[in-house]
Chain A
Amino acid sequence: MKLKNSWTLAIKALKKNKLQTALTMTGMTIGVATVLTMIALGSGAQTAIQDQVRSAGMNLILVTAGNYQMKQDKPADEGIEPAAYLRQPHKATLQTATYNPHQKARFVLAFHPEDDPMAIHDHPTSRQRLGDSEAGLGAAATLTIGDANEIRKIKGVQYVSEGIHENAHVTFGDTRWFTRMHGDDVSQPLIRRAWTFPHGRYFNKGEEKRAESVVVLGQIVSEKLFGTNNPVGKTVSIWKQPFKVVGVIGSGSWMLQPAPGDDQFDAIYMPVTTVQKLLNLSKLNDITITTESTGDVTRVSKEITELVRKRHNIGATMADDFTVTSQARKALQGGGMRPDVSAAVTGNVSGLEKITLSQLGKTLDRASETMTALLTSIAAVSLLVGGIGIMNIMLLSVSQRTREIGIRRAIGARSKDVLTQFLFEAATLSVIGGMLGIAIGCFASGFISKLVQWSTNISLPAILISFTISAAIGIFFGYYPARQASQVLPIESLKHE
């Protein structure tokens, strides 16, 4: 017999016993709805924890061009300290290294004239050429988009954004504003997290790929040039070039208020490719990386260091021509501490990131994993109850329908036909029940997150898993009753009243 016919028979049988069908299905529905809600709550909590850690920038890694680095007294372990490759026998307190593939010798300078912020130069300083990111003698622009693309392939890396930073005059009509200009990747808003778009959007992949002349204004820039008007669609002029405004960036966090000169909202953003084309550059100032897990920062930093060293053909005894920094180190350096003190701390405490990040990150990850596991096991129990409900009803149904089975057998149903029919009935019950459960689960978790402000997270895999489990339970718990049904002897069942 064709499976289609078994299906037809199963559906007809279920329609015959509507109340029973509805009750059994309800059991399954509740089971699946519970599973989905629990997974949603669990992974919501996990995401919330990770979000908090990440918004503190704990998963951020910054690779900057050039190497301007405190010499460490103690050698760093596991090579995550960029200076680990540069072992000098003598103790210099301040050291600058340049990278030059044609020249093997290194300059060791105590001070560079351009490092004095008060000095007035008659030539464009490296600070002006490349922005102030780690400008100095070591600040050679050595990073490329190719480096960034390779970093994207490292396991555990979440987002990668190339960065070129310059100062620029933005002009609209008669109004002019001097601000920071960032050439970035489309993933920048995902890295920043706390951004909102009061108008328009960020530039997209296509615009980045085609290096289009589009610009996203920070809120301060937008206010200075357009007041309260919506600038989206207007054309501003940067370096006498027309740029189309596609969006305005505002702050999504009360902790981060836009202020003039803040480098984030008093700034303009455009695709890194556009900036490279416009300024005829092929190098980057820096690459910003986030990791998927906070616990991975140390490992990813190390891999990035190795990767970039390899790509830049840096021999084992030569210094890096780039610097890998993670947010913890940065926070320590910028945390209101006197620069010399923080330099001493970061320079001398080896494996600092390892202690703070690995341990904190892994502890948090583990805590949320435990929570998810707990919720999932509760949910699994409710699914089991749903499954046993199906088995119970199907077994009851087999004994109730013994006569019906006998009639079918007399008419020519093989025992495998009876088996298939009962299996299909159970599977239909659980699958339809499961789908209802998914709907209710989505609704319930939305309701919970509205009502008690818990974050919930319903992912497609969670839905697929719930659906698969419900179908599997139907078949698993439906098999025994179906087998019982198929083994009923035709003559016995016909005698049955």
Chain B
Amino acid sequence: MSSVISIRNLTKTYQMGDIAVHALRSVSLEIAEGEFLSVIGPSGSGKSTLMHILGCLDQPTSGQYFLNGRDVSHLSDDEISRVRNQQIGFVFQGFNLLTRTSALENVELPLLYDTSSDIPASERKARAMAALESVGLKGREHHHPNQLSGGQQQRVAIARALLNNPTLLLADEPTGNLDSRTSVEVMNIFQKLKDERGITIVLITHEHDVAAYGSRIVHVKDGQILSDEPNESRRMAHGELAQMAPAGRTA
């Protein structure tokens, strides 16, 4: 299988006044297409920095980062924005939806920033509707984020992340603000995306039981990779959901 992500000797150093903080110390990692990689580590371990660099939100101090075979570690703002728009989808702990903006408008946002093609408004709407439907939010497209539950907001964020058919989905503590049942629902969506659409997923978390949904687990501590091994005892969200007592739609 070809590598979606290939990072070599990646370091990131923050200058805090006189003190240099080494968030990442020579990290190398290969992630193959269709993998569901869980990055686990305590806070301050550098996992968030790793995610920011993987998501092209930040640039490494040194080292190389190949995304789909292209070195993206030192691109111009226009190019890197295009990479984020076309190849990466983000799901955050705090959902990061635009407030006072309907679910539909939030979801169609990536298409508005698509520089490669001019998509008419009707098509934007249709694609956003389809994405919302696929995460089970049909009929709620005109709700604003504050009218939606945490789980629903996260699903809107997932729909938005998937709209441009990215190769990589980056999830930063996606269940951090959710209760256990909706957490499992979100994980179920992720596992389905991996199995059915072959999307590469990188999940950042500090909880072992959340990391356990991944097919491979990477432990990070003090800016270095401690361990990197396939997950033998993978949790399956679909089965867990079936066993759970049916709960109300709103979590």
- By a beta-carbon cutoff of 8 Å, the part of chain A in contact with chain B is 1-2, 5, 8-9, 12, 16, 403-404, 406-417, 489-491, 494, 497
Contacts and interface: CB of A to CB of B under 8 A. Distances in A.
Given A416-B78, A491-B58, A408 B84 contact: no
A404 B160 CA distance: 15
B165 to A, nearest CB: 13
A412 B86 contact: yes
A491 B92 CA distance: 12
Interface string B64-95: 00000000000001100110111000101010
Contacts of A416: 77-78
B223 interface: no
29 contacts: A1-B114, A5-B113, A9-B112, A12-B101, A12-B105, A16-B101, A404-B98, A404-B99, A406-B96, A408-B109, A409-B81, A410-B55, A410-B57, A410-B84, A411-B84, A411-B110, A411-B160, A412-B86, A412-B110, A414-B115, A415-B81, A416-B77, A416-B78, A417-B81, A417-B113, A490-B57, A491-B52, A491-B57, A494-B96
B58 A412 contact: no
A408 B113 CA distance: 9
B100 interface: yes
Most buried by A among B94, B101, B113, B164: B113
Given A404-B98, A414-B77, A1 B57 contact: no
Contact of A413 (B81, B90, B160, B164): B81
Interface string B105-122: 100011011110010000
A2 B112 CA distance: 8
A494 B105 CA distance: 20
A412 B113 contact: yes
Contacts of A410: 55, 57, 84, 90, 96
A481 B160 CA distance: 28
**Interface SS, A side:** helix
Nearest to B90: A410
A422 to B, nearest CB: 15
A107 to B, nearest CB: 86
B96 A407 contact: yes
How extensive is the interface on chain B, given as a class?
20 to 34
Contacts of B84: 409-412
A9 B97 CA distance: 15
Nearest to A8: B112
Nearest to B55: A410
Nearest to A414: B81
A93 B101 CA distance: 94
B57 A412 contact: no
A1 B112 contact: yes
Nearest to B84: A412
A21 to B, nearest CB: 13
A411 B92 contact: no
B72 to A, nearest CB: 14
Contacts of A497: 94
| 9 closest residue pairs by CB, A with B | A412-B85, A414-B81, A412-B113, A16-B100, A491-B57, A412-B84, A5-B112, A490-B57, A413-B113
Interface in B110-165: 110, 112-115, 118, 160, 164
Contact of A412 (B82, B92, B96): B82
Nearest to B117: A2
Contacts of B118: 2
Contact of A411 (B58, B77, B85, B115): B85
A404 B94 CA distance: 12
A3 to B, nearest CB: 11
Contacts of A417: 81, 113
B212 to A, nearest CB: 26
Contacts of A12: 101, 105
Nearest to B85: A412
Contacts of A406: 96
Contacts of B99: 16, 404
A407 B96 CA distance: 6
A409 B101 CA distance: 17
Contacts of B160: 411
A8 B119 CA distance: 13
Nearest to B115: A1
Contacts of B97: 407
Contacts of A415: 77, 81
A407 B57 CA distance: 11
